Structure 1
Amino acid sequence: MTVKHHFLSALALYASLTFSAQAFPLTVGNCGLEQTFSEPPERVVTVGQHETELLLALGLKDRIAATSVWFGPLPDALAREGAGLKKLADNAPSFESVVAEKPDLVLAQYQWHIGPQGEVGTREQLTSLGIKSWISPADCVGKSVTSASNGDGARTTPFTMTEIRHEVSALAAIFNVPQEGEKLNRALQTRIDEAKKRVDAQPQKPLRVVFWFSSARLNGDPWVAGDYGAPGWIGKTLGLKNIITSHDEWPAVTWEHIARAQPDIIVIADMARRLYPADDVAVKKAFLERDPVTRNIPAVQKGQIVVVPAMSLNPSLRNVDAVEIISRALATYQAQP
């Protein structure tokens, strides 16, 4: 490579590039926008918990000026490191509050926050102020989100952790900590391998699973995971069969349809957010146990309901947390007579 390094967003190129210290200026392609970094960013605002956790995992707390969009607490491994981080908002911050932090980089987990119709603002607005931006590639690579919609969208190709590993390597290069990126990726793969061994040790026929995130109305159609999003990867990794065959990441599906599919396991999301009653795990469980349609589902009758952090069901480092939690639950279920 020449002194000016190019880091393009195509997955094939991601995999082939390596970075060394002081590889600047660095030109990076990300979700359709190419930007050149003359040096590592010093002040960052994160719009999305995944991006906050990724920087913490890379040892970059001192670069985080402020955070926003929180689904719940930090994982135990990052709780101490992330103590005292400034929060602009638990949900979407205002554009003015982001700019007031004088960031040189804004990291967003989702296009609907920083995108063509960004709830917070657009990348063009940030660029006009001399602020660079980054959207997690998992929210644009192999995914279609219309410019007129701020929804989750549909995936054209199944999500895999490869996309997260590529993001780890990319941000490690941008912040000039490539060794930390390599270390984090190795640790993630080791955890995945161990979870798979835990499940493989007690083989049985594929269990059917449904992943319930939340619902706009408790008695309405729940938002459950399609098989092309992060839960699809989680299920395949553990040998589970997702009963929802949809490319939409979180389609609304009737409970009658779910009950007819007879899932053996229901995975439900735990979050601090309270936009809807079904955001509460206790409310979810009570509904499953009392509703005349859901209470006869095998997973409910057998008590095979697994609670995982909401963050672990959207593309992020935390997908590995879900794999670990569910693999331990599976081992328990398989050990039962």
Structure 2
Amino acid sequence: MKKWATVLITITALALFTGCGSKSEPTKSTEKEEGYPVTIQNFTKAEGGTEWRVKEQVFEKAPERVLANTQPAAELLLHLGLQDRIVGVGAVFGMSDEEVSQEFSKLNHLSDGYLSKEAALSVDPDLIYGRGGLFENEEWGNGTVDSINEMGIATFVQETSTDKATFESVYHDIDHLSELFDVQSAGENFKEELKGRESALKKQVTEVGKEQTFALLFMSDPSDLSIYSASGESFFNSMMKMVKLDNALGDIQGDASLETLIQRDPDVLIVPDWSTYKEGAKKDEMVQAVLSNEKISSLKAVKNKQVYSVDYNYMFGYGYQSLTGMEQLAEELYGK
């Protein structure tokens, strides 16, 4: 986990307070909003903890100034037609969703890296929303849920980023956001689209796929070798199971040793694709580096050339975008 954390810290350091784009001012409604107050069953956790518990968030009206702490989080709001509500977005990196790329380019990009609490508050939000792991009082965190709420600012932690999440959590997040912003029609339409794609993917995999084990090699330097068990990444592991991949290291906490990897001998190896990052290693570079690494040459995944690369946002963006990543991975694993 140490090397994985180093990767994240590196990303965090990228222009934390650099702004790109101009600040967008949301259109404020002059009409009385009906159907409020709305109570949303959301989440909180102890500072530095890993277990999330339910915490209600009560809204007297729809939020008008939303801070999205990651790019994937903002893209979901765009699919719900809420671009005028977004006053800032952090962690602008990784593969983007082309369907909303034009709208996303017009948002107030606060940083390429993760936002500090000061940066998040700089846009005067009435809602801080997004990835749960960033709700911390660290230099890379936008503040804990409880500390933000104590300032009179609401929070919305994506269920997809909590400790027991699955892809079904995507639909729960859409439902809650749709209720919160009173955009149920847009929410239902997007859910229908995603469910159709999910069904098609599962059908494809059922017809041509087979149960296999995998391990995640998570490093930014192709010459390095970092083995991350991803045991606590329930959303990530649920996505892999969608394409019939079971985590061979799922019972190990944090990083796994080289000896353990060789002993478990997974069928498939997954490595990150950093091509969407500044000076990041490209997909083919990462794959070739693994295939030529003498330390793991005995693995059947290497011998069979079962090494695949997936963009960070598709693995750990904690959103609907992971479905695109699994569609692409299924094509590589099983073909058409």
| TM-score normalized by the length of structure 1 | 0.76
Taking structure 1 as reference, are residues 236 and 227 closer, same or farther at Cα in structure 2, changes over 3 Å only? Answer: farther
Select the residue among 313, 316, 328 that pairs with 2:315: 313
Separation in 2 of the partners of 1:110 and 1:274? 25
Taking structure 1 as reference, are residues 68 and 197 closer, same or farther at Cα in structure 2, changes over 3 Å only? Answer: same
Separation in 1 of the partners of 2:246 and 2:147? 43
Select the residue among 319, 322, 326 that pairs with 1:323: 326
Name the SS for the 2:141 alignment partner: coil
Separation in 1 of the partners of 2:91 and 2:61? 27
Match of 1:131 in 2: 153
**Bigger CA drift: 279-288 or 124-133?**
279-288
The answer as to 2:55 corresponding to 1:55 is: no
- Output aligned runs, 1:102-181, within 5 Å: 102-111=124-133, 113-115=134-136, 119-140=141-162, 143=163, 157=164, 159-181=165-187
How far the C-alpha of 1:288 sits from its partner, in A, is 0.9
Match of 1:65 in 2: 87
Match of 1:198 in 2: 204
The amino acid that maps onto 1:331 is Y
Count of aligned residue pairs for this structure pair: 291
How far the C-alpha of 1:24 sits from its partner, in A, is 1.1
- Output aligned runs, 1:1-337, within 5 Å: 22-31=34-43, 32-111=54-133, 113-115=134-136, 119-140=141-162, 143=163, 157=164, 159-204=165-210, 206-214=211-219, 219=224, 221-226=226-231, 229-246=234-251, 248=253, 251-271=254-274, 272-273=276-277, 281=283, 284-314=286-316, 315-332=318-335
Separation in 1 of the partners of 2:222 and 2:252? 23
The amino acid that maps onto 1:134 is F
CA-to-aligned-CA distance 1:160-209 (integer Å, 9 cap, x gap): 212121111101111110111112222111111111221222254x2222
**Bigger CA drift: 36-45 or 211-220?**
211-220
The amino acid that maps onto 2:212 is L
Separation in 2 of the partners of 1:286 and 1:123? 42
How far the C-alpha of 1:137 sits from its partner, in A, is 2.1
How far the C-alpha of 1:220 sits from its partner, in A, is 5.0
How far the C-alpha of 1:297 sits from its partner, in A, is 2.4
CA-to-aligned-CA distance 1:45-92 (integer Å, 9 cap, x gap): 111223112111212111111100234141222222312222111122
Separation in 1 of the partners of 2:277 and 2:129? 21
Match of 1:14 in 2: none
Name the SS for the 1:97 alignment partner: helix
Match of 1:4 in 2: none
Taking structure 1 as reference, are residues 109 and 252 closer, same or farther at Cα in structure 2, changes over 3 Å only? Answer: same
1:68/1:93 contact within 8 Å kept: yes
Taking structure 1 as reference, are residues 331 and 139 closer, same or farther at Cα in structure 2, changes over 3 Å only? Answer: closer
1:220/1:254 contact within 8 Å kept: no
The amino acid that maps onto 1:36 is V
How far the C-alpha of 1:215 sits from its partner, in A, is 6.3
Name the SS for the 1:82 alignment partner: helix
How far the C-alpha of 1:121 sits from its partner, in A, is 1.9
Separation in 2 of the partners of 1:213 and 1:298? 19
Q: Mind listing any 5+ residue stretches in structure 2 that lack a counterpart?
A: 1-32, 44-53
Taking structure 1 as reference, are residues 284 and 322 closer, same or farther at Cα in structure 2, changes over 3 Å only? Answer: same
1:216/1:222 contact within 8 Å kept: no
2:209/2:334 contact within 8 Å kept: no
The amino acid that maps onto 1:320 is L
**Bigger CA drift: 119-128 or 44-53?**
119-128
Separation in 1 of the partners of 2:271 and 2:225? 16
**Bigger CA drift: 131-140 or 160-169?**
131-140
1:196/1:327 contact within 8 Å kept: no
Taking structure 1 as reference, are residues 168 and 103 closer, same or farther at Cα in structure 2, changes over 3 Å only? Answer: same
Taking structure 1 as reference, are residues 40 and 70 closer, same or farther at Cα in structure 2, changes over 3 Å only? Answer: same
Q: Percent identity?
A: 22
Q: Mind listing any 5+ residue stretches in structure 1 that lack a counterpart?
A: 1-20, 144-156
